[in-house]
Amino acid sequence: MSIDEIKKELASILNAVKTRIEMEKGFGIDTLTLSKPVTECSSRSAKSSTKNKPIEHSTTGKHPGDQTSVTGKGERIQILEALQNEMLVCHKCLLGKTRTHLVFGSGNPEAHLMFVGEAPGRDEDLQGEPFVGRAGQLLTKIIEAIGLKRSDVYIANVLKCRPPGNRNPLPEEIVLCMPYLLKQIEIIQPKVLCALGTFAAQTLLNTKAPVGTLRGRFHDYNGIPMMVTFHPAYLLRNPNDKAKVWEDMKKVRDFLGELSGKDSKR
């Protein structure tokens, strides 16, 4: 190897290290864990390891691209608005009476990546937007750490109305509210879903398995690969697990990167 080639190689390694440190800092991780060598080669192998992992719980054999019912952005916006109007007058459960605002969901109606959380908290109830409180600020960092903006993705919750005092969603509330989330997923047609925490993961996968055993790999939600990871509110209480979420999100980033080359946005 010539001196110039060595210089070039060193520059590219330093660049990769710099990028990674920046991303981890942006996400709130202040200790650097170098479990794999940071080279172009390792990022390729990370990609292929994601690709080769079997997607679990395949139920329909459908793929995201197979969903052809809704296509244009304008059409999606209209259908989402109609769904929101339907939900504004929903009183299937008592939460409609105690909420301040319906928290329908927000983001890019053509997002490749859609996050699903649990239920609105106090800040979300007051503002009518998902993930705007402390957990939401962390979610924004997580999104930015994988090179996206909040406006690139779509964010929704299992429940659209705040459970009083931020109590856990009740099973009957989940059952009654679920059709709305399923409709949102059908309209947005994300390429990848990311379930945040126990309620989103267990509800979408119809399982009682703990989030700790579900996280870190892609499952199948009706043909859509779905990453499960810890909820940002859990991370605020357990910051040591941020590194695990970072690992999960890198798999999502690499998956999106594989789908559309460098540009993982629509």
Query: Is residue 220 within 8 Å of 204, Cβ to Cβ?
Result: no
From 49-57, 119-127, 216-224, 249-257, give the range in contact with ligand URA by CB under 6 A. Answer: 119-127
- C-alpha–C-alpha distance, residues 98 and 105, integer Å: 19
From 8-16, 52-60, 113-121, 251-259, give the range in contact with ligand URA by CB under 6 A. Answer: 113-121
Give the x-and-dash track for 64-103 against ligand URA (CB under 6 A): ----------------------------------------
Best CA proximity match to 109, nearest among 185, 15, 214, 5: 185
Q: Which is nearer to ligand URA, 105 or 225 (CB)?
A: 105
CB of 196 to ligand URA, least distance (A): 6
- C-alpha–C-alpha distance, residues 86 and 65, integer Å: 27
CB of 136 to ligand URA, least distance (A): 6
Give the x-and-dash track for 139-178 against ligand URA (CB under 6 A): ------------------x---------------------
Q: Which is nearer to ligand URA, 110 or 124 (CB)?
A: 124
**Which one of 120, 169, 190, 225 is in contact with ligand URA (CB under 6 A)?**
120
130 interacts with ligand URA by CB under 6 A: yes
Handedness of CA 21, 155, 44, 220 (dihedral sign): positive
From 37-45, 104-112, 123-131, 258-266, give the range in contact with ligand URA by CB under 6 A. Answer: 123-131
**Amino acid making up residue 34:** L
Question: Helix H segments across 89-207?
Answer: 95-98, 122-127, 134-145, 171-188, 197-205
CB of 197 to ligand URA, least distance (A): 7
Size of the site for ligand URA (CB under 6 A): 13
- C-alpha–C-alpha distance, residues 189 and 54, integer Å: 21
Best CA proximity match to 219, nearest among 253, 261, 248, 240: 248
Q: Which two tokens stand for residue 162?
A: 């705040």
Cβ within 8 Å of residue 20, ≥6 positions away: 32, 38
CB of 170 to ligand URA, least distance (A): 15
- C-alpha–C-alpha distance, residues 231 and 196, integer Å: 5
CB of 82 to ligand URA, least distance (A): 22
Q: Which is nearer to ligand URA, 136 or 190 (CB)?
A: 136
Task: Please count the other Cβ atoms lying within 10 Å of the Cβ belonging to residue 48.
Answer: 11
- The C-alpha angle with vertex 175 and arms to 174 and 180, in degrees rounded to 5, equals 80
From 37-45, 88-96, 129-137, 182-190, give the range in contact with ligand URA by CB under 6 A. Answer: 129-137
Q: Which is nearer to ligand URA, 169 or 190 (CB)?
A: 169
Contact residues for ligand URA (CB under 6 A)?
117-121, 124, 130-131, 133, 135-136, 157, 233
